[in-house]
Structure 1
């Protein structure tokens, strides 16, 4: 018998042995699933492309945050006024993320992400030439509005193109890109600003974002599971009302907003605190403080494992405890304790954000782009509120005032999570009761 035939017969015989049973329905369905799965080249390209998009998004969005003391000095304005260079960008993103997500339903996730990132990097190259604080705030608002096309579209893209079991990990990689972008942008601006001023610093961030945008467009695979929808305002309104009437989604939106209130407040004000006594640190060192974002990269990427071990609510309780502990540690006048506090705050925030955002994508079975957009709106409104209120609290009560604001927000997250646990138990009891009634 020829070798080829012998091999075929052996293979066929092996397939029928008890040790190699025929695949069941679940295995067959998984094998037929053409969505991206970890280990494939398409998944790796997609993950790296969205990682770079996350880097560019956060680097641009928070490019002035570490420079606020220099912006205040350069334009002769207060901390609360300078904080609007951050709050205007995050606030505009929050307002535009929902309408732009609707455009992504019609024109495609990849197309909208590409256009949004292109506009944002172009504006980023104009920001260094702002002649006044008013123009700077206006440019930052336009930049935030442009960036609104990225977060919700990215989440929807992942929900459509990635297998469900890999979704939390994939979203964790995008969030990890956010943390790397936020960290690298602040470190670059800190050291560059110390040597050449804040204008050159934000210009360098703009150039880095251009490179990320080019690589993103070259690497992101073409969507295979996107189905274009229509721009129907009534249908959009029904979808939004449906999401807002879902108690679980509303709790997740509130959790994202409150976590980001803490994060926005802490990182908007920390530069002012560290320039004052007893620290009196130079701008370059203050920028390097943002290396703690690496902790966020790890904690967001590990969110999937946390959910597997502790469940969604257990992971949120851990994130809340970690963030609260970090806030309390940061009250110390020891630089080491302050840094440890920032590490815990960052780890808790990114873990909580990754868990909440991935839960939104899994909960919404229809209108995923709008569900993610509502989450992003709440999330960035929290950032805008945190930045402004954090600066006001710092002006009124120093760092303790900012920490107090953060603890209130963390308490809100804990309360919502406890209420969610209670609501889930009530629902389970009701379902069991109905099952018993139906059985009789």
Structure 2
């Protein structure tokens, strides 16, 4: 007989992951587990950093996970950062090895299994009962669009990784169904809901049929009427905001000096796109790149811009600028203006960011996301007025303008906001409780 408390549910995300475990206070339900204790986080970046130095242990090469992995990369530790591991599912990479430094090779499948094993240990530490050999994993409706064989292979690879991590019984539930469970628990009648899951890397839409008569079904595939998405989301918003505000003070889109007989030219922009792209920031710190940028001083009409840029490059402040830009985006996301303090680069340097400037920078991305929602509804064979409810989840749905633009297409639909960071994991936990109690 199954031990009801010996299970967990994992939302294995592209950018962040989370765990739900049984709630002792409410049998048949689940609660979110703290996955990083200081200061206490319910989500953990889906990231692993392999150190170039250090000895193997029983689990493999020395590693850091989550925020510690990101910190090691930002601080310039010698090694290899692995992110977006979910994207290798369904590809030929899953069976290949990759160099993680010091001549060490690690299979992508083992990287995946190691991360899931870390999550399992976090669930045990948070109170899940041993032996914790049962898990429900979230999965997208399609790992790979339009290729059933590769899609099946992707799920099989994730299942194999879960077994390698210590789980004997592995089950799956669709992420949009999990996200819709919170809304479904409040439904008194059958409804059609458009789930908008706008995260860090992708914006996914699903049209789902929910209702009290369907809630106890374990197989919900037929309730997913359509699924569609675009690879545009929060990290793209951060990049555009940084380029439109912060990096203007460092020379982006500025002009060079006026010379006799030739018009002033715009300063080369390559370094600014790299500084605004998280995983490329460290590339501007190489000695060759620094020397190249130093020799570009004559390209700048405003030498203060060049001086600030060199401070950022020489003091490795690129990730700090990116973090300030992200914070500013969050500050204006609900409406209003904010001030970005850049005193870390130059004493007294501050930049005002208005919602109007941020909106203008994000307009193109928002338009493509809104269009993806429309296409999803059309794929379901429905008209906008047939959507009964909109369910918003994912960290980027906190952007007021984005949510308003999406909702404008469905004026008759009830708007419901789930927990932006925990709704999928919580829904998976609810499904796991139902599954294993039976």
Bigger fraction of residues in strand: 2
TM-score under structure 2 length normalisation: 0.25
Of structures 1 and 2, the one with the larger relative CO (CA 8 A, separation 6+) is: 1
TM-score under structure 1 length normalisation: 0.25
